[in-house]
């Protein structure tokens, strides 16, 4: 990250280790990463903080960060991000509810993750309202063009044809053991989750980064949606999986250029004269 120029990224999705205190393994041999931190949460935060500061430096003023964690450390990270990005640049605490199997007899089953969303500068950030699902209302009708409406005393009240606006609670299924997109790498997130993030907070041709890319879902989603992408991971196995997935990924909309193959020119264009360290942290 330190080799990249200031203000060169439009969107960052970060899915670091969660501070679970366990060695995460899944699927094939070698699909593993260590999430144990001698010294506990202090050691974990000392790992996370400099990386979050670099992400802040790398975002454009129109850019957004999504930090994906769970109950182990998300409350500590929220305080840290308030300091780095500024309390006023907080946008959302998104709850990803996935309702996988399992039952706990001593407390409610922990079946959600949290995405903390911060703008580099709130008010200038990119955001597109996302819609989906069904309206929670009775008596819905549809006109000859398929547009939903209700009949009121004042006439027809029309609803958006694409469904209600999505809120900060996302009900997206976790990847099942037989899901086609599953690679076997631990911690893999569903494409539907990352595609929602990317559609909401970037435009075609923007540069999307994931510095804990794991199995490469962010990069695959970015390529499918016509964004440039940049990713890395400490695991050589994760990088190999990502490269393989990208080689089999095509842009969903043929009208959008396959931007994912032109990462280096994009970085050169966005690398204006670096701001001073003071400017980069305001």
Among 165, 185, 215, give the residue marking a domain's end. Answer: 165
**Predicted local distance difference test score (pLDDT) of residue 272:** 38
Residue 186 lies in a domain: yes
Backbone angles phi, psi at 141, to 5 degrees: -120, 170
Give the residue numbers spanning the domain of 140. 131-165
- Is pLDDT above 60 for 73? yes
pLDDT tens-digit profile of 142-162? Answer: 999 889 999 999 999 999 989
Among 145, 165, 185, give the residue marking a domain's end. Answer: 165
Confidence of residue 136 (pLDDT cuts 50, 70, 90): confident
Confidence of residue 276 (pLDDT cuts 50, 70, 90): very low
Residue 2 lies in a domain: no
pLDDT tens-digit profile of 163-202? Answer: 899 999 999 999 988 899 999 888 899 999 999 999 999 9
Task: Tell me the pairing of strands 59-69 and 9-14.
Answer: parallel
H helices of 86-205, in order, are 191-201
Mean pLDDT of the chain: 87
The answer to whether residues 127 and 198 touch, using CB atoms and an 8 Å cutoff, is no
Half-sphere exposure of 98 (CA within 13 A, CB side): 18
Lowest mean pLDDT among 3-17, 31-45, 97-111, 260-274: 260-274
Domain CATH number, residue 102? 3.40.50.150
* DSSP H or E segment with residue 270: helix 263-270
**Do 30 and 72 lie in a common domain?**
yes
- Is pLDDT above 60 for 275? no
**Predicted local distance difference test score (pLDDT) of residue 30:** 56
Q: What's the rounded Cα separation, in Å, for the pair 199 and 32? A: 30
H helices of 1-111, in order, are 41-58, 74-85
**Do 270 and 181 lie in a common domain?**
yes
- Is pLDDT above 90 for 51? yes
* DSSP H or E segment with residue 12: strand 9-14
The answer to whether residues 228 and 202 touch, using CB atoms and an 8 Å cutoff, is no
Strands (E), the chain: 9-14, 22-25, 32-35, 59-69, 90-97, 112-119, 141-142, 148-152, 155-158, 169-171, 207-210, 228-231
Among 114, 144, 165, give the residue marking a domain's end. Answer: 165
**Do 145 and 249 lie in a common domain?**
no
**Tokens 């209700």 map to which residue?**
150
Number of domains in the chain: 2
Residue 1 lies in a domain: no
The mean pLDDT of 74-78, rounded to a whole number, is 98
**Do 100 and 38 lie in a common domain?**
yes
pLDDT tens-digit profile of 244-259? Answer: 999 999 988 766 655 4
Query: Cα 80–117–22 angle (5° rounding)?
Result: 60
pLDDT tens-digit profile of 211-242? Answer: 999 999 999 999 999 999 999 999 999 999 99
**Do 90 and 196 lie in a common domain?**
yes
């Amino acid at each position: 990250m330190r080799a990249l120029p200031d203000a060169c990224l439009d969107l960052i999705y970060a899915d670091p280790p969660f501070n679970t205190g366990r060695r995460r393994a899944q699927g094939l041999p070698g699909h593993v990463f260590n999430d144990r931190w001698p010294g506990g949460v202090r050691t974990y935060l000392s790992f996370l903080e400099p990386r979050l500061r670099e992400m802040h430096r790398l975002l454009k003023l129109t850019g957004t960060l999504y930090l994906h964690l769970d109950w182990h450390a998300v409350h500590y990270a929220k305080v840290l991000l308030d300091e780095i990005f500024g309390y006023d640049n907080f946008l959302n605490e998104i709850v990803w509810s996935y309702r996988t199997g399992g039952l706990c007899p001593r407390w409610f089953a922990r079946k959600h993750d949290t995405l903390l969303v911060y703008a580099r500068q709130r008010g200038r950030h990119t955001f597109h309202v996302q819609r989906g699902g069904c309206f929670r209302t009775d008596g819905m009708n549809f006109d000859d063009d398929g547009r939903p409406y209700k009949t009121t005393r004042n006439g027809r009240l029309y609803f958006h044809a694409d469904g209600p606006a999505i809120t900060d609670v996302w009900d997206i299924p976790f990847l099942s053991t037989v899901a086609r997109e599953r690679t076997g790498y631990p911690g893999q997130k569903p494409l539907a989750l990352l595609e929602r993030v990317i559609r909401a907070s970037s435009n075609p041709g923007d540069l999307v980064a994931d510095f804990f890319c794991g199995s490469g879902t962010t990069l695959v989603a970015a390529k499918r949606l016509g964004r440039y992408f940049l990713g890395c991971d400490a695991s050589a196995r994760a990088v190999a999986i990502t490269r393989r997935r990208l080689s089999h990924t095509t842009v969903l909309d043929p009208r959008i250029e396959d931007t994912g193959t032109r990462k280096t020119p994009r970085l050169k264009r966005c690398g204006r004269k670096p701001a001073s360290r003071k400017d980069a942290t305001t």
